[in-house]
Amino acid sequence: MSATARKTTAMSSVPSPTGDASEPSRNVIQFPKGLPGFEGCRRFVLMAAEHGGLQVLASVEGPPAQFLVVDPRRVQAGYRCQLSEADRHTLAASADADGVADADASLLWLSLVMVEPDGTVTVNLRAPIVVNPSRMVGQQVIPYDSIYPLRHILMKGQ
């Protein structure tokens, strides 16, 4: 985890899209399947990071895990992702006539931010984390036909 992701504001007063993180019972996002590679982490909170537009998705149970995330629409204008019927069922999400869940719908869309060994900052636009804030349930979706890259470069390293 990068130093940026570890430098979060105090949890006692962090407003987030899911509410005030000082009341964890109301603000915990349930991930029924965990996240790939972190299946033991099923409960997370979303906190604001020091840098504008970035957030930290932090596990509140299981092994310690924190992920730096950003709304993919801040990275790619017009970002859209087609959720499978199973994904929509898990998230209790609706879709348009083509089966596409718009990124501007009631769902919260997050893309993982990674810092490569050479300092390059990339964003995973291919497999977003999707949260339904009204149900406080989320999951990482992996569309089979995504047009977006796994490592979209935000800033080139050395």
- pLDDT for 50 equals 80
Of 76, 39, 70, 72, the closest CA to residue 56 belongs to 70
Instruction: Write the CATH number of the domain with boundaries 3-155.
Output: 2.30.290.10
Q: What is the pLDDT of residues 8-50, one digit of tens each?
A: 332 322 334 433 444 456 789 999 999 999 999 999 999 988 8
> CB-based contacts of 59: which residues, under 8 Å, 6+ apart?
38, 41, 43, 44, 65, 66
What confidence score (pLDDT) does residue 82 get? Answer: 83
Structure tokens at 18: 């899911």
73 phi, psi to nearest 5 deg:
-70, -20
Phi and psi at residue 117, to the nearest 5°: -55, -30
Domain segments of the chain: what residues? 3-155
CA dist., res. 112 & res. 135, Å (int): 22
Question: On the CB side of 112, how many CA atoms lie within 13 Å of its CA?
Answer: 23
User: What is the residue whose two structure tokens read 């537009």?
Assistant: 53
**Residue pointed to by tokens 């300092």:** 119
**What's the pLDDT tens digit per position in 140-154?**
998 878 899 999 999
